[in-house]
Amino acid sequence: MTPHRWSLARLLRRRLLVAVTVLWTAAALVAIIAVRYELNSVLDGALLSLAEQIPLEPDARSPDAPASLPAVPKEEVMHVLVRNASGSVLRQSGPTRHVPWPLDKAPGVATVNGWRVATRRTIDNNVIVQVGEPLNERRQALTESTAALVLPLLALLPLAAWLIDLLLRRSFKGVQQASEQLRSRPEGDISPLQANDLPSEFEPMLASINALVDRLQGVVRAERAFAASSAHELRTPLAAARAQAQRLVAELPEGDAQERALALVRSLDRLSNTATKLLQLSRVESGIGLAREPVDLRQLATLVLDEFRHHADATHRLKVQLPDQPVIVQGDIDALGIAIRNLIDNALKHAPQAQVEVRVEAPGRVIVSDDGPGVPTHMLATLSEPYSRGSARTDGTGLGLAIVARIAQQQHSSLVLQSPLPGSARGFRATLTIAPTAA
C-alpha cells in the first residue's frame, strides 16, 4: 500500500488562505457593524437637526399659521409633520399624506410603523414636530454602503491567494533548487549536498542527509576497494594457475585427462576474464567516466583494435572502417577505451565464427555489429544490466555491456542495441554515441 504523500507548500497555502479568509471576514463584519452604526447615527442626527429647525412660535399652534418649514430637497424622502395635541396638522412638507405616526412618542428618534421618526414637542405638549424617513430607504442606503465596503474586499481575496502562492514559492525556492541539484546529479556522484539558500528550519534535515551520505560514501568506497583488491589479487594466482594448467595439457597424452586439463584452462580463462571485468567495473563505479577532455575517437579505436590483432581468431574476423579525418569527442580516454574494448569483446565472444564489423563515424559514433545469430528482441531491454547474457552457451560474464552502459551514462552518451539487423533475421548491433566537442 502506497503511503499518503502530502505537500507542505500546499498545506501552508490552504491554511494561510483559510486564515486570511476568516480574518478578512471577521474584519469585514466588524467594519459592516461599525459602518451601519455610524450611518444610523448620522441619519438620526440629520432627522433631529431638521426637527430642531422647525419653529415652535405660538402662532404655529394655529391651523391658519403659514407653512414656513425648512426646504426639503425633492430627492429627499424625509417628511416633516407639525401637529397640535389633538392631532390636527399644522404644517407638513410636500404634498398632504397620511403617515402612521402616533402623537405620544417621546422626544428623540424611534422606529415607528416602518418609519424612522425624530420627535420634538413643546413643554406643554401642545405642538409636536416629527420628521420621518421610510425604513426601506434607509435599508437601501445601508445595503449600498455595505456593498461598497464588502465587494472590494471580496475582489481582493483572489489577489491575496495569488500573493500567498507567490510568497510560498519564493520561500521554497531553496528547497526546489536543492531537489533539482540532487535530480540532475550523475548516478555516481554521492558527494554531500550543498544548498546555501535553504531556510534555517531545513538545516538539521540537510545535516542529517549529508551525514547519511558520508556513511554511504564509506560503504561504497569499501565495496569498490574490496572488489578492485579482490580482482587484482586474483589475477596473479590465476595467471600462475593457468600456466600450470597449460603445462599439464602439454605433458598429458591425448585422452580424458588432457580434455579435463583443457576444461580447467578454459575455466581459468573465464575466471581471469571475470576478474578483469570486475576491475573495469570498479573503475567505472569510481567515476572514471565523469572526466571531460577532447578525445580522438578514430585514434582510440585504432589503439583498442591493435590489442585484438594479437589474437589469431580475432584477426580474420574483424572488419574495420575508420574515417580519414579525426573524430574529436568530449570524454575520458580510459573510460571510452574500456567501452570500445568491451563492445568488440562482446561481439567476438557472443557470435562465434561470425564476422565482426567495427565502424567509427563522425560526429561521434562507434558501431560494432556482427552477423551472428543475434538475441531475441525481448531481451534487448535487459541486455545492458549486470550479469545479463543473450545466450547461456557462451563464456561471457554478463558484465561487458553493463560496463559500456554505465560509461555511457557518465559520459552523457547513449548506447543503442539492435537485433536482428535491418533486412535480416540475424545479427546484432551496438551503437555508442558520444557528444562531440563544442565548436
Task: Specify the 3-state DSSP secondary structure of 240.
Answer: helix
Report the distance separating Cα 305 and Cα 285, nearest Å. Answer: 25
369 plus 227 within the same structural domain: no
pLDDT reported for residue 299: 93
Closest CA to 194 of 183, 204, 207, 54: 207
238: pLDDT strictly greater than 70: yes
β pairing state of 115-121 and 356-361: unpaired
112 and 18, same domain (yes or no): yes
Task: Give yes or no for a cis peptide into 326 (omega within 30° of 0).
Answer: no
**Alpha-carbon distances, residue 60 vs 271, 275, 362 (angstroms):** 130, 126, 116
> Could you tell me the strand order of the sheet in which 414-418 lies?
318-321, 356-361, 365-370, 428-433, 414-418
Out of 286, 319, 334, a domain closes at: 286
Residue entry with cell 502530502: 6
When pLDDT is cut at 50, 70 and 90, the band that residue 241 belongs to is: confident
Q: Is the pLDDT of residue 201 over 70?
A: yes
Ramachandran bin of 427, using left for φ above 0, alpha for ψ from -120 to 50, beta for the remaining angles: left
Say whether both 263 and 125 belong to one domain.
no
pLDDT score recorded for residue 312 = 65
Average pLDDT, stretch 18-26? 85
Whether the predicted pLDDT of 355 surpasses 80: yes
Model confidence pLDDT, tens digit, residues 130-189: 888 888 888 888 888 888 878 887 788 888 888 888 888 887 777 777 777 777 776 666
Task: Measure the CA–CA gap between 336 and 434, rounded to whole angstroms.
Answer: 9
In-domain check, residue 195: yes
List phi, psi (to 5°) of 298: -65, -45
Answer yes or no: do 198 and 305 share one domain. no
Report how many domains make up the chain: 3
Name the more confident of 269 and 379.
Answer: 379
User: Residue 298 above 50 pLDDT?
Assistant: yes
CA distance 408 to 357: 21
Q: What is the mean pLDDT of the segment spanning 242-262?
A: 82
Given this model, what pLDDT does residue 287 score? 66
Taking CA atoms, 24 is separated from 27, 165, 173, in Å, by 5, 17, 28
Q: Pick from 255, 250, 278: which is nearest to 265 by CA? A: 250
Domain annotation covers residue 175: no
Q: What is the mean pLDDT of residues 408-430?
A: 87
Cβ-count burial 6-26 (b if 16+ within 10 Å, e if not): eeeeeeebeebeeebeeeeee
Mean pLDDT of 1-11: 68
Q: 82, 100 in Cβ contact below 8 A?
A: no
The pLDDT value recorded for residue 432 is: 92
Q: How confident is the model at residue 66 (pLDDT cuts 50, 70, 90)?
A: very low
Torsions phi, psi of 51, nearest 5?
Answer: -65, -35
β-pairing, 318-321 vs 356-361, is parallel
In this structure, are 306 and 354 located in the same domain? yes
Share the mean pLDDT of the chain.
79
214 and 326: one domain?
no
CA–CA distance, 215 with 219 (Å, rounded to integer): 6
Q: How far apart are CA 182 and CA 130, in angstroms?
A: 81
Give the residue numbers spanning the domain of 261.
189-286
Domain end, chosen from 286, 313, 337, is at: 286
Q: Looking at residues 428-439, what average pLDDT do you find? A: 79
Whole-angstrom distance, CA of residue 76 vs CA of residue 42: 15
Most confident of 110-114, 150-154, 166-170, 337-341: 337-341
Is residue 338 within 8 A of residue 295, CB to CB? The reply is no
pLDDT average, residue stretch 71-84 = 68
Contacts of 26 (CB under 8 A, 6+ apart): none
195 and 144 share one domain: no
Q: Phi and psi of 97, rounded to 5°? A: -150, 155
pLDDT confidence bin for 300, thresholds 50/70/90? very high
136 lies in some domain: yes
Confidence of residue 368 (pLDDT cuts 50, 70, 90): very high
pLDDT of residue 97: 66
Q: Please choose, from the candidates 410, 421, 417, the residue with its C-alpha nearest in 3D space to the C-alpha of residue 431.
A: 417
- Which one of 79-88, 202-211, 341-350, 376-385 scores highest in mean pLDDT? 341-350
21 and 123 inside one domain: yes
Q: What is the pLDDT of residue 394?
A: 59
C-alpha cell at 412: 552523457
Q: Specify whether 297 is located in the same domain as 423.
A: yes
Portion of the chain with pLDDT greater than 70, in percent: 84
* Residue 369 confidence (pLDDT): 92
pLDDT (tens digit per residue) in 257-297? 888 888 888 788 777 777 777 777 777 776 666 677 899 99
Q: How far apart are CA 44 and CA 65, in angstroms?
A: 28
Domain boundary among 270, 286, 302: 286
